[in-house]
Amino acid sequence: MSTAAAVVVYGATGHTGRFVVAELRRRGFTTIVSGRDAAQLEELAGDRKDVLPRAATVDDARSMDRALADAVAVINCAGPFAVTGRPVVEAALRAGIPYVDVAAEIEANVAMFADCAEAARESDTPVVPAMAFYGGLGDLLVTAAMREWTAADEVHVAYGLSSWHPTAGTRAAGEVSHQRRAGRRVRFTDGALQYHDDKPWEQDWLFPEPLGRRMVIAEFTMADVVTVPSHVAVPEVRTYMAVEAARDLSEEDTPAPKPVDALGRSDQMFVVDVLVRAGGVERRATARGQDIYAVTAPLAVEAVQRILAGHTRTTGVASAGAMFDAADFLRALGPHLSVELPN
């Protein structure tokens, strides 16, 4: 099989990884499916001529190098990213190919910006962490809402999820983050991440339809507190989560997502509502769609496609909003997202 224009998906057999593989194939990419379990990779590849299995483990650099050989990019879908992020990005830098991941782990994203920036810049290799529903989509919406602004006084990102049936990967990543924080919570205020023991509290948020007014958990902190301040001068970034979704996530017996359509999506609906304030002026941007895991696939694959086409604004480690034309990127996701941006 030719690996011309082949993209590696590490963690391809996971829930999100399978969506990413399907999206790459839909766009005509040869896909190298990689991860720890050779048998599962063989099963995923089947007899498809455009899918090539290559087993690799993050604790074996040679296996990672073999997995990425002759590829043009890698998308890391294997959490916990605190474990996989650095080994996979280092393999990408050795291979000289772009790296994209779908990490929602705050500490893993912080580490990517802090620890890999110099090497990525020196090798002139694009590295885009958190190119997913959490971190990437919010960052794109914030950037599109700001338009010509280079700074803001406040950024608010409210997640209106009709439900949240977490995958095993989501639960594992959450547990790693919980352990790394020693059970503490985190917020971005006064221009920095701050860890604290304050109890969560609720407020109401008026989402656009179809959700409308909902109670949300305030300071339900997601990866946007890393991606947005990485390129926007802003002292306060706050994220919120619909109470129903937060309750689903917290309950141990909430089942994994169940597919309801031919694309494998669940019936989960979402609205992401972004509010940016600067100098007494407010701007809003909103995205609506179905299934937070499924929509991560076009986000990550669109990023790879734009990087390979040279449609980027910088290199090295950068968030989605810094790397791409945010409004154009969001509009390109029309089949997957309905977006409303300021004129």
Q: Per-residue pLDDT tens for 211-249?
A: 889 999 999 999 999 999 999 999 999 999 999 999 999
Residue 215, burial from CB neighbour count under 10 angstroms (0-12, 13-18, 19+): middle
| pLDDT tens digits along 265-318 | 999 999 999 999 999 999 999 999 999 999 999 999 999 999 999 999 999 999
* pLDDT tens by residue, 96-150: 999 999 999 999 999 999 999 999 999 999 999 999 999 999 999 999 999 999 9
pLDDT over 60 at 1, yes or no: no
- Averaged pLDDT score across all residues of the chain: 96
Please indicate whether the domains covering 6-132+296-327 and 133-292 agree at the CATH topology level: no
- Distance (Å, whole) CA 327 – CA 343: 11
Burial of 154 (0-12, 13-18, 19+ CB in 10 A): middle
pLDDT tens, 182-194?
889 999 999 999 9
Please check whether residue 52 is in contact with residue 69, taking contact to mean a CB–CB distance below 8 angstroms: no
Q: Residues 10, 79: contact at Cβ < 8 Å?
A: no
Average pLDDT of span 21-35: 97
Rounded to an integer, the average pLDDT of 12-39 is 98
For residues 2-22, give the mean pLDDT: 90
pLDDT over 80 at 4, yes or no: no
**Band of the pLDDT at 210, cuts 50, 70, 90?**
confident
Report the side by side order of strands in the sheet with 30-35.
Answer: 51-55, 30-35, 6-10, 73-76, 99-101, 127-128
What is the value of pTM for the model shown?
0.97
Residue 203 scores a pLDDT above 50? yes
Residue of 54, 57, 121 whose CA lies nearest to 93:
121
> Residue 63 has which token pair?
């296996």
What pLDDT shows up at residue 166? 97
Considering the domain 133-292, what is its CATH architecture? Answer: 2-Layer Sandwich (3.30)
In the structure encoding, which two tokens stand for residue 141, read together? Answer: 């919406």
Fold of 6-132+296-327: Rossmann fold (3.40.50)
Find tokens 């909430």 and name the residue. 254
% of the chain beyond a pLDDT of 70: 99
